[in-house]
Amino acid sequence: MSFSILGTGKAVPEYVLTNEELSTMVETNDEWIRTRTGIQERHICKSETLTELTVKAANAALENAGVSPEQLDLIICSTMRGENITPSQACVIQKEIGATCPAFDVNAACSGFIYALDIADGYFVRKKVRYVLIVSMDNLSNIIDWKDRATCVLFGDGGAAAVLGEGDDLLSINLTAVGNDKVLRIPHGTNSSPFYEHDEERAVLHMEGNEVYKFAVNAMATGIKKSVADAGLEMKEVDCVIPHQANIRIINASAKNLDIPKEKFFCNVMHYGNTSSGSVPIALDEANRSGVLKKGDIIAMCAFGAGLTTGSCVIRWNKGEEK
């Protein structure tokens, strides 16, 4: 036994930051951002807190699944930085939605949602749970260097949640990690110890974009190929690919490498930018609610990110209209 996805829900902040507005903040322009990344706009937190958004996504997913908070046996939140160092964001969500189950966070950067699915699968296999809530969200706008045009144009805030129930719809899942704190890193930035002998670093994102790009294109092709093969399927049997929404060029290159028609890749990077661990589940929620996904569809999901981590999986969709 593995699980079925019973419902999804997303939450993004209201404020939309366009490429035009960004062009007034750093030396960039709409044409560069669109052609190099596909991004047109992204949502940025002004008044909203990460807690408000994670709770909103959680409640939307519970409603979509028809599951109540009291029924939950586990909450996993994937985030790089919760509202507090402790308690975990998952515990904050548990309190806010009125659940009583165990709750913890996982940090696998942009691959967080797929890491969380794999952890949840273990609980289902061990028959420890009937219903699990996963919330994947990052608030990158508060850890971006807004003076660095090479990175500040790429990211946005927001995320989404999924409710899992007993079922047999996870067909394969693969995680990888290659420890690397050079090409993509966000330091903590503060240290209150009067004894500590190292300099403090600013808590902002540092990235070697070209290195991550090469890693990403390879990771997407390798991950999806392996997960489709592990599921005992052929590439042509995949109905929909939900990729990490980092850059449309990475998605297009993956489609070419995998010989999957571009139309099968669900893309919303133009409206959200890269929301880190929120990226795959936001796309999954939009594909769910827009009716793109039909009952019985085979979905491949794949993400890559800091770590460097990757996650890929194949699931059968078990909601909505029949094909």
Q: Is 274 annotated as catalytic?
A: yes
The residues in 259-278 that bind ligand UT7, with binding defined as CB under 6 A, are: 274
Q: Which helix (H) or strand (E) holds 243?
A: strand 240-243
Q: Is 271 annotated as catalytic?
A: no
The residues in 186-215 that bind ligand UT7, with binding defined as CB under 6 A, are: 207, 209-210, 212-213
Q: How far is the CB of 156 from ligand UT7 (least distance, A)?
A: 12
Q: How far is the CB of 293 from ligand UT7 (least distance, A)?
A: 24
H helices present in 231-275, as ranges: 248-258, 269-272
- Do 251 and 213 meet the contact criterion of CB atoms below 8 Å apart? no
Residue 110 in contact with ligand UT7, rule: CB under 6 A: yes
Question: Of 75, 106, 129, 153, which one interacts with ligand UT7 (CB under 6 A)?
Answer: 153
Q: How far is the CB of 127 from ligand UT7 (least distance, A)?
A: 35
Q: Which helix (H) or strand (E) holds 225?
A: helix 209-230
Which region among 83-91, 146-154, 287-295, 313-321 touches ligand UT7 (by CB under 6 A)?
A: 146-154
Q: Which of 167, 175, 315 is nearest to 241 (CA)?
A: 315
| C-alpha neighbours within 13 Å on the C-beta side of residue 315 | 25
Amino acid at 216: A
Residue 289 in contact with ligand UT7, rule: CB under 6 A: no
Question: Of 37, 51, 59, 312, which one interacts with ligand UT7 (CB under 6 A)?
Answer: 37
Q: Is 240 annotated as catalytic?
A: no
Question: Of 13, 281, 305, 311, which one interacts with ligand UT7 (CB under 6 A)?
Answer: 305
Q: Which of 131, 130, 148 is nearest to 140 (CA)?
A: 148
Q: How far is the CB of 70 from ligand UT7 (least distance, A)?
A: 36
Give the list of residues 6+ apart from residue 30 with CB closer than 8 angstroms, or none. Answer: 18, 19, 20, 23, 40
Catalytic residue numbers read 110, 244, 274
